[in-house]
Structure 1
Amino acid sequence: MRLPLRLIVGPMVLALMATTASHAEPSTAQREACTPDVWRLCSGEIPNVTRITACLRREKARLSPDCRAVFNTSGRPRSAGL
Structure 2
Amino acid sequence: MTAYLTSTIRQAGIVLAFAVSFAALSATPSLAYSSEAQQMCTGDAFRLCSDEIPNISKITACMMKKRASLSTGCRAVMDRDLAQKSNKVAAQ
Bigger Rg, which one: 2
Shift in Å, 1:16: 3.2
Q: Which has the bigger relative contact order, CA under 8 A and spacing at least 6? A: 1
Contact 2:44 2:70 in 1 (8 A): yes
- Structure with greater proportional helix content: 2
CA distance in 2, matches of 1:77, 1:10: 23
CA distance in 2, matches of 1:58, 1:33: 17
> Unaligned stretches of 5+ in structure 1?
none
Match of residue 76 from structure 1: 82
Match of residue 35 from structure 1: 42
Question: Among the aligned pairs, what percent are the same residue?
Answer: 38
RMSD over equivalenced CA pairs, Å:
2.6
CA distance in 2, matches of 1:11, 1:78: 23
Contact 1:20 1:77 in 2 (8 A): no
**Residue among 1, 20, 23 paired with 1:11:** 20
1:9-42 CA-to-partner distances (Å, cap 9, x unmatched) read 1121232354423xxxx43322111111110000
CA distance in 2, matches of 1:56, 1:33: 13
> Unaligned stretches of 5+ in structure 2?
1-9, 86-92
Q: Normalising to structure 1: TM-score of the pair?
A: 0.70
Deviating 4+ runs (over 4 angstroms): none
3-state SS of 1:47 partner: coil
